[in-house]
């Protein structure tokens, strides 16, 4: 299996959990090569320094895994960035968000799906966010790009779900990672119910075993999503109130 963004946070927790569950081979990929090497040493895996926003890096990552192990059973497209702002955010913020949260999944699918489809089996897990389902009260680039990533995963499941490909979207709320800490003000409302990365990894294993598309480590997200679908305008009013409440706490 291949885990991108595997050098820390949810990615490293996934690597540890997969290793504990007996994964035969784990390829740990991260933009930071030293972080990938540390996790790979811990789990007995292989480290690869890769930028998932560069398609040639993703192609080389998958080609290397295939050369070493013959197949990729599970690909975890997990890298993420926390960039905030609204429409006024600079173009490079918007472009980086879409590159990491949408194009990285597309590059990964281009690289790994042909082999999976040829075998008639495989699993593609994308780390999205509850923001992909529910939006975010402060960060438009994050929420919009995460929603794009979720839509792409939905499309993959529609197109290939009957051809032996399990596609799953991991959509947690707050997780106690460096990203949550570095965005303390904008994400303060997520801290109370934040989970440890290992808890999220456990939810992923359960979700994959049950072959679920949506993996929701925070069960309340399912209820919020139902409310959104049942009364969109009421939900938008509620999100406005949440935004104002959090803004008041920050100021």
Quote the percentage of the chain above a pLDDT of 90: 88
Asked if residue 83 has pLDDT above 70, the reply is yes
| Residue 142 annotated as catalytic | yes
**Strand partners for 2:** 27, 75
Residue 223 C-beta-side C-alpha neighbours within 13 Å: 3
* Paired residues of 58 in beta bridges: none
Pairing of strands 214-215, 74-77: unpaired
| Spatial CB neighbours of 78, under 8 Å, sequence gap ≥ 6 | 3, 4, 5, 6, 10, 11, 14, 125, 126, 127, 170
pLDDT higher than threshold 70 for residue 251: no
- What domain range includes position 144? 2-250
* pTM for the structure as a whole: 0.92
Q: What is the pLDDT of residue 250?
A: 62
Which CATH number fits the domain that encloses residue 13?
3.40.50.720
pLDDT in tens, 38-81: 999 999 999 999 999 999 999 999 999 999 999 999 999 999 99
Kindly state the average pLDDT of the residues 87-95: 97
Quick one: which H or E segment has residue 122? strand 122-127
Residue 187 has pLDDT above 60, yes or no: no
The catalytic residue among 75, 107, 142, 160 is 142
Q: Mean pLDDT over residues 143-172, rounded?
A: 98
Alpha carbon separation from 168 to 81, 90, 200 (Å, rounded): 20, 31, 14
Say what percent of the chain tops pLDDT 70: 94
Query: How many domains are contained in the chain?
Result: 1
Residue 191 pLDDT: 66
| pLDDT in the model for residue 246 | 87
Using CA atoms, how far residue 208 sits from 74, 101, 106, 126, 202, in Å, is 10, 21, 21, 12, 10
pLDDT (tens digit per residue) in 3-29: 999 999 999 999 999 999 999 999 999
- Quick one: tokens of 14? 């996934």
**Which residue reads 């529609």 in tokens?**
158
The pLDDT tens digits of the residues spanning 188-218 come to 556 677 899 999 999 999 999 999 999 999 9
Place of tokens 């406005």: 240
Instruction: Place 128 in a pLDDT band, splitting at 50, 70 and 90.
Output: very high
């Amino acid at each position: 299996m291949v885990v991108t963004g595997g050098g820390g946070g949810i990615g490293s927790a996934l690597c540890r959990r997969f290793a504990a569950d007996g994964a035969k081979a784990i390829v740990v990929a991260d933009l930071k090569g030293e972080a990938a090497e540390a996790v790979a040493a811990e789990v007995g895996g292989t480290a690869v320094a890769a930028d998932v926003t560069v398609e040639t890096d993703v192609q080389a990552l998958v080609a290397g895994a295939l050369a070493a192990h013959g197949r990729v059973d599970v690909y975890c497209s997990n890298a993420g960035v926390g960039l905030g702002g609204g429409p006024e955010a600079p173009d490079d913020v918007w472009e980086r968000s879409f590159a990491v949260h949408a194009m990285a999944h597309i590059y990964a699918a281009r690289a790994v799906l042909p082999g999976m489809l040829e075998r008639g089996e495989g699993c593609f897990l994308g780390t999205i966010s509850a923001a992909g389902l529910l939006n975010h009260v402060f960060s438009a680039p994050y929420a919009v790009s995460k929603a794009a990533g979720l839509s792409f995963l939905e499309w993959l499941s529609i197109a290939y779900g009957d051809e032996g490909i399990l596609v799953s979207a991991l959509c947690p709320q707050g997780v106690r990672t460096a990203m949550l800490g570095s965005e303390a003000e904008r994400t303060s409302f997520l801290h109370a119910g934040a989970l440890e990365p290992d808890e999220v990894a456990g939810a992923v294993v359960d979700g994959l075993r049950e072959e679920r598309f949506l993996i929701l480590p925070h069960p309340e997200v399912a209820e919020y999503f139902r409310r959104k679908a049942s009364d969109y305008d009421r939900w938008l009013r509620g999100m406005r109130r949440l935004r104002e409440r959090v803004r008041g706490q920050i100021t």
